[in-house]
Amino acid sequence: MTFSRPSFDEYYLAGAEWASTRADCTRAQVGALLVSKDHVVTPGYNGLISGIPGCATAGNCPRGRHYQVDPDVCAVCKQSTGIEFQCTCYRPVRAYACACGDVWPCPDSVAPDSNYANCAATHAERNAIERANPEDLPGATIYTTREPCPACWTLIKCVGVQRAVWRVGVSGSGFSTWEREGG
């Protein structure tokens, strides 16, 4: 019988995946795990700050309110409108509509993984870094379930994190790494 153990990168990436189960986002469940000197420092996941109603659980996401809806289902009362009928709330049926009630494409909508300007959530990487003790950051490795966004990359580099590891590929079976030069 052959026994195999995961590499440390695979082990800690599994921890980031576990952290992502706490994410409260309508678009992506992202997790992060900050590791320093081979011990777990803090997990992080994306969502609004503590105490604020969540994006997914409370419908409090400015990005998640804008998506194309089925023209045969009312965006308000969710009743089927059929081809020539209006629902019981008597909202006009549009051939293409946004869930917010505007026309589609809605001027407030943004594609997934683009323009985070109206994202109210704290990203998983920021969440983990902010919860860590400052002395644990220099030389640490951050494991994430996806490549960090530009703002998170800036933070990761500024606080002295030495290395970043994230999942890649359609099935998420591989991973990619970044390491600070001179480290």
The catalytic residues are: 125
User: How many C-beta atoms surround the C-beta of residue 168 within 10 A?
Assistant: 12
Residue type, 102: D
- Which of 15, 22, 18 is closest to 41 using CA atoms? 15
User: How many C-beta atoms surround the C-beta of residue 108 within 10 A?
Assistant: 13
Residue type, 150: P
- Which of 62, 33, 28 is closest to 125 using CA atoms? 33
User: How many C-beta atoms surround the C-beta of residue 158 within 10 A?
Assistant: 10
81's CB contacts (< 8 A; 6+ apart) are 71, 72, 73, 74, 87, 93
Q: Which residues pair with 80 in a beta bridge?
A: 73
141's CB contacts (< 8 A; 6+ apart) are 12, 34, 35, 36, 161, 162, 163, 164, 165
